[in-house]
Structure 1
Amino acid sequence: MLEGYAADAAGFVLPMLRPGDRVIDVGCGQGAVTLSLGTATHPLRVVGVEADYGEVTAARKAAVRAAVSTVDFVASDLASLPFSTASIDVAFSSGLLERHPNPRDVIVELSRVLRPGGLLAVSTVDWSKAKLRPKTANVDAALRGRQLLHRRSGGDPFAGRRVAEWVERAGFREVRARARYRQDIGYRELARRVESELASAIQTDDGARDQQLASAARSAWMWVRDGSGDFSQCWMEVLATR
Structure 2
Amino acid sequence: MDRKSETATYSHGHHASVLRSHTWRTALNSAAYLLPHLTPNMTILDIGCGPGTITVDLASYVPHGHITGLERVGDVLTQARALTKDKKVTNIDFVEGDANALDYADGTFDIVVCHQVLQHVQDPVGVLKEMRRVARVGGIVAARESDYESFVWYPDVEGMKEWRSLYLKLAKWNGGEPNAGRMVHAWARKAGFEVGGIKSSSSTWCYSTREEIAWWSGLWAERIEASSFAKTAVDGKLATSADLERIAEAWQKWGEQEDAWFSVLHGEVICRKEN
TM-score normalised by structure 1 residue count: 0.89
2:48 & 2:237 partners in 1: Cα distance? 32
1:199 and 2:199 matched: no
Q: 2:25 aligns to what? A: 6
Residue of structure 2 equivalent to 1:220: 248
Mean alpha-carbon deviation: is it higher for 220-229 or for 156-165? 220-229
Distance 1:206 1:198, change over 3 A: closer
Match 2:206 to one of 183, 200, 207: 183
8 Å contact from structure 1 (residues 46, 72) kept in 2: yes
Distance change in 2, residues 1:235/1:141 (3 Å): same
Matched, 1:239 2:270: yes
1:86 aligns with 2:114: no
Structure 1 residue aligned with 2:181: 160
Give the C-alpha shift of residue 148 in structure 1. 2.2
Q: Which runs of 4+ in 1 moved over 6 A?
A: 204-209
Alignment of 1:170 with 2:191, yes or no, is yes
Tell me the CA shift for residue 46 of structure 1.
0.4
Q: Distance in 2 between matches of 1:130 and 1:165?
A: 20
- Check the 8 A contact 1:199/1:214 in 2, yes or no: no
CA positional deviation for 1:45: 0.5
From the two aligned structures, give the one with the greater helix fraction. Answer: 2
Query: Compared with structure 1, are the counterparts of its residues 195 and 145 closer, same or farther at alpha carbon in structure 2 (3 Å cutoff)?
Result: farther
Shift of 1:95: 1.4
Q: Would the aligned equivalents of 1:17 and 1:41 in 2 still touch at CA under 8 Å? A: yes
For the residue of structure 2 that corresponds to 1:137, the secondary structure is coil
> What do residues 193-216 of structure 1 show as CA deviations (whole Å, max 9, x unaligned)?
333333245567998975456425
The aligned length equals 242
1:206 and 1:222 map into 2 onto residues whose CA distance is 18
Distance 1:184 1:116 in 2: 39
For residue 146 of structure 2, the aligned residue among 125, 129, 135 is 125
Q: Distance in 1 between matches of 2:220 and 2:234?
A: 23
Out of 27, 37, 50, the position equivalent to 2:58 is 37
Q: Is the 8 A contact 1:198 1:214 kept in 2?
A: no
Q: 1:207 to 1:82 in 2, by over 3 A?
A: closer
Residue 23 (1) aligns with residue 44 (2): yes
> What secondary structure does 1:81 align onto?
coil
Considering only aligned residues, what root-mean-square deviation do their CA atoms show, in Å?
Answer: 2.5
Stretch deviating more after TM superposition (5-14 or 21-30): 5-14
- 1:52-77 Cα distance to aligned partner (Å, 9 max, x none): 11112221121011100011110001
Gaps of 5+ in 1: none
218 and 143 in structure 1: CA distance in 2 versus 1, 3 angstrom threshold: same
**1:223 alignment partner AA:** W
Q: 5+ unaligned residues in a row in structure 2: which ranges? A: 1-11, 13-17
Q: Residue 120 of structure 2 corresponds to which residue in structure 1?
A: 99
Shift of 1:129: 1.3
* Cα distance between partner residues in 1 of 2:80 and 2:90: 12
SS of the equivalent of 2:159 reads: helix
Contact 1:142 1:217 in 2 (8 A): no
Q: Percent identity?
A: 24
Match of 2:6 in 1: none
**Distance in 2 separating the partners of 1:22 and 1:88:** 5
